[in-house]
């Protein structure tokens, strides 16, 4: 009987030639002028994943998000009608920010300066001595921001007329809604700030070329003799978005006993809730411009990288769950799986920041992507296309 197992074959360059092979301008990863173009062309025009409906469980629930790249503070509120809305966190009297708390529940929002008060639907409901003003209350509603939901995930857009979210997500919308995140009721969160450009930070999680060198301890079943760099089994391209399917070494040594227990407990909990692995369980979904979601039901995490300035970013890891802990074992599983995620990220951080210091020195005119760093190239191509379109519109007086 033939027991030969075919060797792993990475995706061939000929299947990716349409993305190009040329070097990438290094200045795109540190130049403030290019970052300003990205700010206008990408982050003020795209749908941005900003939260999850489980954060707004009842009428009056709200969260505040600081979006430095848009120079904005945002309130996301569930109204009395259960609808989720997004507003600029700014009083329409003289601009004072309404809310300092990160999250909470309240029926109205009052400005600390002059006590103008707004409903959860954004209406001005009261203002001292308002008859002395020369406007109507309807003219003073909170400035709204486009908001939509897919798979329980809340997206906002600063664009005046953004595309329909599901159309923008394309064929990925239905796949996302089949994942556990669509039913999630809670999450564990890890927030960090890093001295690195958002693309440089994001790219670290789009390529596996570094696994062998940065993660020899934690890469586990992600590498093996037939695939020493842990290259993905396949890539997918979906307009501005992309996917990759991770390769798993079936002959990898078993993880630690604690990790086996954590994954086992998580899977038992999911099975009891009727959640099973899907065809997308080994896929990373990279949504343009700055959001990842891993389809694995046991370690179902997202990672968002938001720019602060040209060379500093904020990242948010979330591990999503369905239902509350019902035992110490389930609590252990959640904490252990998040600890694993943080451990892996801690191995990345130093080299990402070292890369930023090198690029910011101006020593390089270009950087180079190999075939299996194609997702990094695709992101740059999409960003550049958005910037060029914005520049063309600006030159034509369209924007």
Sort 228 into a burial class: Cβ within 10 Å, 0-12 / 13-18 / 19+: exposed
Q: Are residues 329 and 188 in the same domain?
A: yes
Q: Are residues 40 and 109 in the same domain?
A: no
Show which of 121, 140, 162 is a domain's final residue.
162
pTM of this structure: 0.94
Look up the CATH number of the domain holding residue 203.
3.90.380.10
Q: Pick from 259, 251, 201: which is nearest to 227 by CA?
A: 251
Q: Are residues 56 and 26 in the same domain?
A: no
Q: Are residues 147 and 96 in the same domain?
A: yes
Phi and psi at residue 87, to the nearest 5°:
-135, 155
Phi-psi group of 12: left, alpha or beta (phi > 0 → left; psi -120 to 50 → alpha; rest → beta): beta
Q: Are residues 39 and 53 in the same domain?
A: no
Q: Cα(191)–Cα(286) distance, rounded to whole angstroms?
A: 19
Q: Cα(315)–Cα(334) distance, rounded to whole angstroms?
A: 20
Determine, yes or no, domain membership for 286.
Answer: yes
Under 8 Å CB-to-CB from 261, ≥6 apart: which residues?
A: 329, 332, 333, 336
Q: Are residues 186 and 149 in the same domain?
A: no
Determine, yes or no, domain membership for 3.
Answer: no
Token pair 């630690």 is found at: 256
Q: Which domain holds residue 395?
A: 11-45+171-399
Task: State the greatest distance between any 2 C-alpha atoms of the chain, in Å, as a whole number.
Answer: 92
Q: Are residues 76 and 175 in the same domain?
A: no
Angle between helices 257-272 and 328-360 (to 10 degrees): 110
Give the count of domains, the chain.
2
Q: Are residues 40 and 144 in the same domain?
A: no
Determine, yes or no, domain membership for 2.
Answer: no
Q: Are residues 281 and 371 in the same domain?
A: yes
Determine, yes or no, domain membership for 38.
Answer: yes
Q: Pick from 364, 399, 379: which is nearest to 40 by CA?
A: 399
Q: Are residues 180 and 158 in the same domain?
A: no
**How far, in whole angstroms, is CA 385 from its chain's centroid?**
20
Look up the CATH number of the domain holding residue 93.
2.102.10.10
3-state secondary structure of 192: strand
Contact, 333 vs 177, CB < 8 A?
no
Determine, yes or no, domain membership for 4.
Answer: no
Q: Are residues 79 and 37 in the same domain?
A: no
Q: Pick from 21, 18, 16: which is nearest to 232 by CA?
A: 16
Contact, 296 vs 282, CB < 8 A?
yes
Q: Cα(154)–Cα(69) distance, rounded to whole angstroms?
A: 18
Q: Are residues 346 and 274 in the same domain?
A: yes
Concatenated DSSP letters of 258-311: HHHHHHHHHHHHHHHTT----TTTTEEEEETTTEEEE--STT-EEEEEEEEETT
Show which of 162, 184, 208 is a domain's final residue.
162
Q: Pick from 27, 344, 369: which is nearest to 205 by CA?
A: 344
Determine, yes or no, domain membership for 39.
Answer: yes
Q: Cα(390)–Cα(37) distance, rounded to whole angstroms?
A: 8
Measure Cα distances from 364 to 33, 48, 194, 367 in Å.
17, 31, 21, 7
SS3 content of the chain, % helix, strand, coil (to 5): 35, 25, 40
* Strand bridging mode 291-294 / 61-67: unpaired
Q: Cα(309)–Cα(218) distance, rounded to whole angstroms?
A: 31
Show which of 162, 179, 194 is a domain's final residue.
162
pLDDT at 372: 97
Determine, yes or no, domain membership for 217.
Answer: yes
Count CB-CB contacts under 10 A for residue 6. 6
Q: Cα(324)–Cα(321) distance, rounded to whole angstroms?
A: 8
Determine, yes or no, domain membership for 1.
Answer: no
pLDDT means per 10 residues, the chain with 399 residues, are: 68 97 98 98 98 97 98 97 97 97 96 97 97 96 98 97 97 95 93 97 95 81 87 97 92 77 74 72 95 90 97 96 85 84 89 98 98 98 98 89
pLDDT at 220: 64
Phi and psi at residue 56, to the nearest 5°:
-125, 70
């Amino acid at each position: 009987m033939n027991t030969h197992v075919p060797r792993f074959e990475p995706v061939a360059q000929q299947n990716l030639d349409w993305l190009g092979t040329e070097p990438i301008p290094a200045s795109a990863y540190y130049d403030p002028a290019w970052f300003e173009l990205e700010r206008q062309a990408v982050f003020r025009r795209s749908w941005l994943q900003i939260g999850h409906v489980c954060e707004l469980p009842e009428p009056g629930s709200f969260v505040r998000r600081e979006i430095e790249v848009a120079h904005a503070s945002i309130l996301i509120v569930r109204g009395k009608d259960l609808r989720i809305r997004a507003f600029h966190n700014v009083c329409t009297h003289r601009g004072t920010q309404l809310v300092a708390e990160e999250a909470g529940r309240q029926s109205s929002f009052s400005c600390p300066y002059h006590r103008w008060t707004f409903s959860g639907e954004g209406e001005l409901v009261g203002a001292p001595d308002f008859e002395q003003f020369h406007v109507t209350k309807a003219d003073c509603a909170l400035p709204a921001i486009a908001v939509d939901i897919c798979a329980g995930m809340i997206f906002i857009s600063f664009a005046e007329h953004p595309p329909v979210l599901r159309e923008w997500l394309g064929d990925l919308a239905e796949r996302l809604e089949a994942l556990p995140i669509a039913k999630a009721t809670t999450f564990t969160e890890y927030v960090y700030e890093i001295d690195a450009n958002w693309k440089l930070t994001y790219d670290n999680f789009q390529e596996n070329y570094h696994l062998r060198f940065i993660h020899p301890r934690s890469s586990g079943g992600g590498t093996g003799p037939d695939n020493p760099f842990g290259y993905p089994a396949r890539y997918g391209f979906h307009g501005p978005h992309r996917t990759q399917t991770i390769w798993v070494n079936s002959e990898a040594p078993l993880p630690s006993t604690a990790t086996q227990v954590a994954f086992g407990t998580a899977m038992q909990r999911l099975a009891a809730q009727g959640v099973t692995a899907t065809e997308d369980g080994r896929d990373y979904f990279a949504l343009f411009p700055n959001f990842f979601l891993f389809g694995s039901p046991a370690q179902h995490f997202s990672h968002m990288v938001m720019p602060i300035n040209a060379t500093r970013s904020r990242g948010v890891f979330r591990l999503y769950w369905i239902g509350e802990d019902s035992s110490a074992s389930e609590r252990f599983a959640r904490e252990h799986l998040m600890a694993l995620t943080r451990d892996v990220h801690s191995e990345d951080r130093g080299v990402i920041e070292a890369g930023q210091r090198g690029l910011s020195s101006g020593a390089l005119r270009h950087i180079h992507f190999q075939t299996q760093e194609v997702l990094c190239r695709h992101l740059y191509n999409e960003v550049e296309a958005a910037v060029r379109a914005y520049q063309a519109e600006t030159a034509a007086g369209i924007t």
